[in-house]
Amino acid sequence: MSAPPRDDADRTLPFLSAVIRRGWTWTRRIAIAAVLVGGAVILLEAVHLHELLARIHPWLAWTVSGTLLAALLA
């Protein structure tokens, strides 16, 4: 004797759950990568700004860099 036919509703919920889980995983991966890349770009730009200001005057470079760091950590 064969098993009774399955209703479409039985297959929809697990499929939807798998799609949502897969989408959430990829969304997290993309968000983490964006945060890491964004942080690296900000760090590189801060170093570049510090080098440019150091050519004008070292105190100016350290003052601006310190102010930006304090604002970032506040």
Distance between CA 53 and CA 61 in Å, rounded? 5
* Tokens matching residue 20: 């949502």
For the segment 14-70, what is each residue's pLDDT rounded down to a tens digit?
888 888 999 999 999 999 999 999 999 999 998 999 999 899 999 999 999 999 889
Residue 43 and residue 65 in contact, taking contact as beta carbons nearer than 8 Å: no
- What pLDDT shows up at residue 13? 76
Residue 38 and residue 31 in contact, taking contact as beta carbons nearer than 8 Å: no
Distance between CA 22 and CA 49 in Å, rounded? 41
Amino acid occupying residue 17 = S
Q: What are the boundaries of each domain within the chain?
A: 9-73
